Chains A and B, each alone.
Chain A
Amino acid sequence: MNINLTLLGQMITFGLLVWVTMKFVWPPIIQAMQERQKKIADGLAAAERGKHEQQLAEEKAKQVLQEAKQQAAEIIAQAQKRANEIVEASKDTARIEGERIKATAQSEIEQEVHRAREELRKQVGAIAVVGAERILKKEIDPKAHDQVIQDLVAQI
């Protein structure tokens, strides 16, 4: 084991190897590895975030559904109430209308009766006059006896 120039040669070789490794080998490899690590970490974080967001969305959907159901129920209840009101109101109007029609009819009937009575009275008066004319067989002054006839008519 004699020590000679080889020692210096080996030191130079070693120094060059280390320098080249330091310059061209280590940085790109370590950098790529770190980048990959970061990429994987980002991916995992994104997945986690996605999961979380999905959960939130599901919850929100559930909430919205619940609200919609509640609203629908409210609307139905309101509609029912309104329908009842309408039915009640129309019942009332119908009753009032009916009563009104009844009243009108009654008054009309009364009027009709009244008119018929008037008519009858007039006709009876005329018949009476004609009957009296026939019975008396003489000229009667309608003017002179008008009062009498009127009385008769009123009596009928």
Chain B
Amino acid sequence: MAAEYANASEYIKHHLGHLTLGDKETFWAIHVDTMFFSILLGAVFLFIFIRAARRMTTGVPGGLQNFVEILVEFVDQQVKDSFHGRSKVIAPLALTLFVWIFLMNIVKLLPYDLLPYLAHMAGLEYLRINPTSDVNATLGMSIAVFFLIIFYSFYIKGVTGFSKEIFLKPFGIWFLPFNFVLKVVEEIAKPVSLALRLFGNMYAGGLIFTLIALLPWWIQWTLGLSWSLFKLLIITLQAFIFMVLTIVYLSMAHEDH
């Protein structure tokens, strides 16, 4: 497909473009491809899991139920390992994060040019099917997690408790502004690192696929196959890391230091 473009850099640039509605230079634009595929994959996740939840039986589980139960038990175990309080939100949140991110990552392994090519034929200029290589998607999740962290910090420790933590730790009352700046940096670092870790991995992975696609067709499969297999590990690992760190951050918000 690379042949259709004037040169390699144009091909790469094209593949990094989003199908966008609105003015790209301002905040008031929306990446339709990211939204569409993330909602589609979220729907896939909900469809599978609600189906399984409806058909849950306490007797001998069937195939789908087994699969869902393995995932649920795995997530539940992770939550129990690092979170010692009681919360109705954290475990479902972790499950959603893990499965949704995994699904959004794995669409990356579809033939790289196929969907954009089809979209091109349908008249859409840009199409990126992998939502997690859009920083808006990863930041969206991590900022939501950040709000939860702030909410739980106030909810569990109370306004005074959390304020004390913000202003008086770690150096005591005489370093009040310094403590505050330190805490702000600490809290801001959480969502930013969460989002950028996932985004960076997926973005770079996509870029490598783009480069592989620029190779002659008869050699592509060697690198493409090995990179896809490697990527399969990465996408699972990244989904897992995002989930575990979220659980850890939320459990930190629940506990006094």
Report yes or no: A4 in contact with B22, Cβ–Cβ below 8 A: yes
Closest 5 CB pairs of A and B: A10-B140, A6-B136, A32-B56, A26-B92, A22-B92
Instruction: Spell out B's residues near A (CB within 8 Å).
Output: 22, 24-31, 34-35, 38-39, 42, 45-46, 49-50, 52-54, 56-59, 61, 68-69, 72-73, 76, 88-89, 91-93, 95-96, 100, 131, 134-137, 139-141, 143-144, 199, 203
Q: Give the interface segment out of A33-41, A71-79, A93-101.
A: A33-41
| Chain A residue total in the interface (Cβ 8 A) | 32
Q: In whole Å, how far is B24's beta carbon from the nearest beta carbon of chain A?
A: 7
- Chain A 19-33 residues near chain B, CB threshold 8 A: 20-22, 24-26, 28-33
Contacts A5-B29, A25-B95 known; A32 to B58 CB distance under 8 Å?
yes
Residues of A within 8 A of B24 (CB): 2, 4
One of B52, B58, B88 near A22 (C-beta < 8 A): B88
Residues of A within 8 A of B56 (CB): 28-29, 31-32
Residues of A within 8 A of B42 (CB): 13, 16-17
Residues of A within 8 A of B92 (CB): 18, 21-22, 25-26
One of A7, A21, A24, A33 near B69 (C-beta < 8 A): A33
CB of A136 closer than 8 Å to a CB of B: no
Residues of B within 8 A of A30 (CB): 72, 76, 91
One of A10, A20, A39 near B141 (C-beta < 8 A): A10
Residues of B within 8 A of A4 (CB): 22, 24, 26-31, 136
Of A11, A15, A21, A33, the most chain B CB neighbours within 10 A belong to A21
Q: In whole Å, how far is B203's beta carbon from the nearest beta carbon of chain A?
A: 8
Can you sample 28 A-B contacts with CB below 8 Å? A3-B139, A4-B26, A4-B29, A4-B30, A5-B27, A5-B29, A6-B35, A6-B134, A6-B136, A7-B139, A7-B140, A9-B30, A10-B137, A13-B38, A14-B140, A16-B42, A22-B92, A25-B53, A26-B95, A29-B52, A29-B68, A30-B91, A32-B58, A33-B69, A33-B73, A36-B58, A36-B59, A36-B61
Report yes or no: A24 in contact with B34, Cβ–Cβ below 8 A: no
One of A6, A16, A18 near B34 (C-beta < 8 A): A6
Report yes or no: B93 in contact with A8, Cβ–Cβ below 8 A: no
Residues of A within 8 A of B54 (CB): 28
- The answer for the CA separation of A81 and B69 in the assembled complex, in Å, is 77
Given contacts A2-B25, A10-B141, A11-B143, 15 further A-B contacts (CB under 8 A): A5-B28, A6-B137, A6-B140, A10-B38, A10-B131, A11-B140, A13-B38, A14-B141, A14-B144, A21-B92, A22-B92, A24-B53, A25-B46, A29-B53, A36-B61
- Across the two chains, which residue of chain A brings its CB closest to B59? A36
Residues of A within 8 A of B136 (CB): 3-4, 6-7, 9-10
Residues of A within 8 A of B91 (CB): 26, 30
Q: In whole Å, how far is A87's beta carbon from the nearest beta carbon of chain B?
A: 74
CB of A1 closer than 8 Å to a CB of B: yes
Q: In whole Å, how far is A38's beta carbon from the nearest beta carbon of chain B?
A: 9
Encode contact with B along A29-71: 1 for CB under 8 Å, 0 otherwise.
1111101100100000000000000000000000000000000
Contacts A7-B140, A13-B35, A24-B53 known; A18 to B30 CB distance under 8 Å?
no
Report yes or no: B88 in contact with A15, Cβ–Cβ below 8 A: no
Residues of A within 8 A of B141 (CB): 10-11, 14
- The answer for the CA separation of A21 and B53 in the assembled complex, in Å, is 10
- The answer for the CA separation of A117 and B144 in the assembled complex, in Å, is 150
- The answer for the CA separation of A45 and B216 in the assembled complex, in Å, is 66
Q: In whole Å, how far is B146's beta carbon from the nearest beta carbon of chain A?
A: 10
